[in-house]
Amino acid sequence: MAKIDEIKEILTSLRVGFSVIIGLLVVVIGVLINKEKASDTDIYFWIGLVFVLLLSMGLIYVVKSIVKHLKEIREID
């Protein structure tokens, strides 16, 4: 039973990470949209755009990890 509890804890952490990444994406994309509307495409705009791309890749990694751990739980039960 210890293995399934460990996997559940990992899943909980991954879900929190998923929520944090989504929140960061919403905020950063909102700021980027405001900068674009103001025609203020300076270096911070481009850094933000790169940050959004990195967050998106991190989000994909977290989702794949969640799916992998869910499959592990399915195999244990």
pLDDT band at 11 (very low <50, low <70, confident <90, very high): very high
pLDDT band at 1 (very low <50, low <70, confident <90, very high): low
What pLDDT score was predicted for residue 40?
86
Considering the entire predicted model, what is its pTM? 0.85
Contact 14, 73 (CB under 8 A): no
What pLDDT score was predicted for residue 41?
87
Expressed as residue numbers, the domain containing 33 is: 2-76
Largest Cα–Cα separation, the chain: 57
DSSP state of 40: -
Contact 35, 41 (CB under 8 A): yes
The C-alpha atoms of residue 77 and residue 71 are separated, in whole angstroms, by 10
Give the tens place of pLDDT for each residue, 18-68: 999 999 999 999 999 999 999 988 999 999 999 999 999 999 999 999 999
The C-alpha atoms of residue 77 and residue 59 are separated, in whole angstroms, by 27
Domain count, the chain: 1
